[in-house]
Amino acid sequence: MFQGASIVQQTGAALLAAVTVIWAVTFVQMRRRGPELQGQGGALLRSLPVQSGPPRAESVELTPDERDAFARLVRQFGNGRGASA
């Protein structure tokens, strides 16, 4: 196969190529069968779960100093002066 490669390297390359082909064929078959399987209630290639219900609100208590700093920042941006001023 390769002149300068050992038998272990050649075997590894052949194995990697075979696994890649098997993965690609399986992936294409799953993509083709996806719509019919999802109709049966199964999520075939779903990476994220479906969110059930509205997202919960998160809040953080600010100290008086933090509230003042935030108010100054809002006023600064409200005046049209960005962070570069």
The predicted model scores a pTM of 0.41
Tokens of 32: 């083709």
Q: Does some domain include residue 12?
A: yes
Q: Does some domain include residue 82?
A: no
Q: Does some domain include residue 64?
A: no
What pLDDT is attached to residue 85?
46
**Which residues contact residue 6 at a Cβ distance below 8 angstroms, ignoring those fewer than 6 apart?**
none
pLDDT higher than threshold 80 for residue 82:
no
Tokens of 40: 């049966």
**Looking at the 3D structure of the chain, how many domains does it have?**
1
Q: Does some domain include residue 75?
A: no
Domain that holds residue 3: 1-42
What pLDDT is attached to residue 4?
85
pLDDT per position as a tens digit, 35-77 = 665 555 555 555 667 778 787 888 889 999 999 999 999 999 8
The continuous run of DSSP H or E covering 74 comes out as helix 64-78
Q: Does some domain include residue 81?
A: no
With bands split at pLDDT 50, 70 and 90, how would you rate the model's confidence at 78? confident
